[in-house]
Structure 1
Amino acid sequence: MFDDFENVRDLSVLEVPAVGSLSATGSKWDPYRLLDPQGRPVGAVAAYFSDLLAAGRSEATVRSYGMDLLRWFRFLWAVEVAWDGATRLEARDFCRWLAITNRAKGSGRAVPYSVSVRVHSETVLRCFYDFHRDVGTGPMVNPFPLDRSRRGGRAHAHHNPMEPYRNERAGLYRPRAIRRIPRNIPDAEFNQIFARLLSNRDRAMVAFYVSTGARASELLTVTQGGVDPGRQLITVVRKGSREMQELPASSDAFVWLRLYQVEMEGQIPRGRTRPLWWTRRKPFRPLTYHAAHRMFERVSADAGASATLHALRHTAAYRMAQDPAMPLTDVQFVLGHAQLTTTQIYLTPRKEDVIERVLAHHAEQTRKAAEQGPPPAAGYRPETLDVLFARSRRS
C-alpha cells in the first residue's frame, strides 16, 4: 500500500509555466477571477471567492487568496492533476516545491519564497478544500491535512490559562514561522529618503505614513472630506474591519498636504467623497497602492536603502512605543491592532539601537581602562604610585 509514496515526483526537473492569470474585473460583485491557460474562469475558485465576499472579506483579501490559488493551480496544471483529484501527495510535493524554487521579483532577480508566503499559502489552500468538502463539490479528504496534534479537536482545547500558549502548528505541511523584528527605518536613512522625494504629494504621503502608522492601503482610502487640519486628524478605512477611524497626524504632514492641494487646484475633481490622492500625470486618476509602492521603492533605491512602504508603519509604531508619555494601549488603538500582544513587538529593541549602546559600553570600558593606566609592575605598591602621580583613589 506504500507504492504511491515510493513513487516520488522529481521536483528538480519539474517546470511550472506561468500560465493562467488572476484577472481584476472592476466589479464589486465579482472583483477577481482565476483564469485557466485557455482564458476560461475556474468555477471552483469563483464559488470560493463568492463565499469569502459573503463572509465580509475585502477585495484585497480575495486578491491575496487568489494569488495563492493561482500558484497551486499552475502546479496542478504542470503535473496534470485535476484540482478535485489532488491528494496529499500533490499537497506535499507542492509545499516542497515552494520551499526549493525561486520566484521572479519586480527587479528581475529570482528569490526563494519566504516562510510567510508558504505559511499563508498552506492556510488558504486548506480552507479552499474545506469549503468544497463542506458543500460537497470537492474531495472528501482535504489534501492539506491538519497537524496530528490538532486532529479531532480545536487548538489549545486543554490549555491552562495560567501558562503561556505554545506555538502549535495548524497544518501538517505548514512551515514553522520565524518571529521577525519589524523592519523600521533609522532616522538618518529616513531623512535621506525624504530629501529625494520629487513632489509635495509624495512628501505629504510619507509624512502621513510615518506619523499616523496607517497601513499603505489605508491611507489611500482618505477622501477630501476626511481631512481635518484644525484638529490634525485624517479619517481612514481600516483594512480588516472596514470601519472608519480618525488618526492624528503631525503638523508637517498637513503643511505638505496643503502645498500639494494648491498645486492641484482646478486640475482634479473636488468633493468631500472624492479621493485625496491622485496621480501626477494626465489623465489624472486616483492613486493606487501599486503606484504608491513603486514610488517609494524607487526613491528608496535612489537613496541606497532597501526600505519598503510598509516599513513606514513600523517606523511610526516604534517611535510611538518608545515615547514614555504614550501608553502602549494608545499605540494599539492608533495602529488598529485587535490584541495588545501584537503591539508589544514594538517594545523589542531595534538592532541599530542595541549596536549603538553596546559600542558605547565598549568605549566607556576603554576610557576607564585608559584613566586607570597600566597595572603596576611586580614589586610596586599601587597606593605608592597614586601618591607619586597625584592620583586619587576612589573608595
Structure 2
Amino acid sequence: MRSLDQIERNIEKIQVPAWGWVVAVEGVVPWLVVDSSGRPVEPIQRYLRDFLAQGNRPGSVRSYAYDLLRWWRWLRTVGVEWDKATSAEVRDLVLWLRQASKPRSSPRTSSAATAGTVNPITRKRYLGDQYEPTTIRHSNAVLRAFYEFWVEIGEGPLASPVPLQRMRGRRPNAHHNPMEPYRAEGRLRYNPKVPKRRPRALTDERWNGLFGAMRWHRDRAILAMGISNAARASELLGLRGNRHRLG
C-alpha cells in the first residue's frame, strides 16, 4: 500500500459524476442511498439503520445519507472501494470540496446577484455556490461515524480512514479512567477552520421601527419579554396566538 505522501491526484481536473440518489422509502429507515440501478447501497443501508436506532431523527438520517452518497461518488471517481479507502481519499475529497462548485439542477436566476453576499437587514449570509467549511466538517464527521461503525462490528476496514489531528504536547488518554472505555481525542485532521462571525443584531433605528409596528400592547409585551430573556429568533417567530374567552 502506498503511503499518504505518495498519492497525488490532480484535484482541479477531477469531475465527480452524478451517480446514485437519496430516496425516501416506506419502512423503518425512511431514507436510503441507491445506486444507478435503483438498488440500495448495502453498507450505507446497514449503517443508517443502526444510526436511526440510536434515536436520531429522520432529518438527520437524510442529511447523513447525502454525505455518504457524495463519498460513494468520490470513491467511484478515484477508483477505490469503500472498505479500502485511506486517509488520502479523505484528504483529497476535502481539497476537492474546497475548490469545487455545488451541483445545481438549473442555473441561478434572481438569486445569482445575492449568492455569497450578506443581507443588509438581517446580516445573514446567503449561501454561495461553493461548499462551506461547515459542510466539509459535517462530511468528515459523518464519514468518521460511518467507519467507526464498521470498525466496531469487525466487517469493514481495520481502522478508520478519517484521522484525528496529531496530539502535540500531551499523550492521548493521559488521564484515562480504567473503569471506562478509551475514547478518541482531538479534532478531525482535515477539518477546515470556520471563520468567527460577529453576532447579528438590529440597529436601534430598526428596533424602534419593529416595536412601533406592533398593533397591540400585548404583542409589544411579548416581544419585549422575549428580547429581555435572550430568546432565539426562531422561538419568537414560532409563537402562535391562542385566544380564549373568559366565561
Shared fold, TM over 0.5: yes
Aligned partner letter, 1:112: Q
Aligned partners of 2:101 and 2:131 also within 8 Å: yes
CA distance in 2 between partners of 1:52 and 1:4 (Å)? 30
Aligned partners of 1:169 and 1:176 also within 8 Å: no
- The residue number in structure 1 matching 2:196 is 179
- The residue number in structure 1 matching 2:101 is 102
Give 1:139's match in structure 2, choosing from 128, 140, 157. 157
Q: 1:19 to 1:182 in 2, by over 3 A?
A: farther
Post-superposition shift, 1:136? 0.9
Aligned partners of 1:48 and 1:128 also within 8 Å: yes
CA distance in 1 between partners of 2:142 and 2:136 (Å)? 10
Post-superposition shift, 1:327? 3.4
CA distance in 1 between partners of 2:43 and 2:135 (Å)? 22
Q: 1:93 to 1:176 in 2, by over 3 A?
A: same
Question: What secondary structure, in the 3-state scheme, does the structure 2 residue paired with 1:33 have?
Answer: strand
Give 2:136's match in structure 1, choosing from 118, 135, 156. 118
What is the CA deviation profile of residues 131-173 of structure 1, one whole-angstrom value per residue up to 9, with x for unaligned ones?
110011211111101111298339xx69xxxxxxxxx961011
CA distance in 1 between partners of 2:200 and 2:22 (Å)? 30
Q: 1:172 to 1:53 in 2, by over 3 A?
A: same
Post-superposition shift, 1:53? 1.0
1:1-395 equivalences under 5 Å are: 5-27=5-27, 29-105=28-104, 108-109=107-108, 111-149=129-167, 152-153=172-173, 170-181=187-198, 250=219, 323=227, 326-328=228-230, 331=231, 335=235
Q: 1:67 to 1:134 in 2, by over 3 A?
A: same
Aligned partner letter, 1:180: R
Answer with 1 or 2: which has the greater Rg. 1
Aligned partner letter, 1:143: P
- The residue number in structure 2 matching 1:376 is none
CA distance in 2 between partners of 1:80 and 1:128 (Å)? 20
CA RMSD of aligned residues (A): 3.7
- How many residue pairs get aligned? The number is 198
RCO greater where, 1 or 2, for CA within 8 Å and sep 6 or more? 2
What is the CA deviation profile of residues 51-92 of structure 1, one whole-angstrom value per residue up to 9, with x for unaligned ones?
111110000000111111111111011112111111111111
Question: What secondary structure, in the 3-state scheme, does the structure 2 residue paired with 1:104 have?
Answer: coil
Scaled by the length of structure 1, what TM-score is found?
0.44
Aligned partner letter, 1:40: R
CA distance in 2 between partners of 1:20 and 1:185 (Å)? 44
Q: 1:54 to 1:2 in 2, by over 3 A?
A: closer
Aligned partners of 1:122 and 1:144 also within 8 Å: yes
Q: 1:57 to 1:3 in 2, by over 3 A?
A: closer
CA distance in 1 between partners of 2:165 and 2:198 (Å)? 27
Aligned partner letter, 2:16: V
Q: 1:86 to 1:113 in 2, by over 3 A?
A: same
CA distance in 1 between partners of 2:33 and 2:23 (Å)? 6
Aligned partner letter, 1:327: N
Aligned partner letter, 1:152: P
Q: Which aligned runs of 4 or more in structure 1 are off by greater than 4 angstroms?
A: 1-4, 182-188
Q: 1:83 to 1:185 in 2, by over 3 A?
A: farther
Q: 1:176 to 1:58 in 2, by over 3 A?
A: same
Aligned partner letter, 2:84: G
Aligned partner letter, 1:142: S
Aligned partners of 1:146 and 1:171 also within 8 Å: yes
Scaled by the length of structure 2, what TM-score is found?
0.67
- The residue number in structure 1 matching 2:112 is none
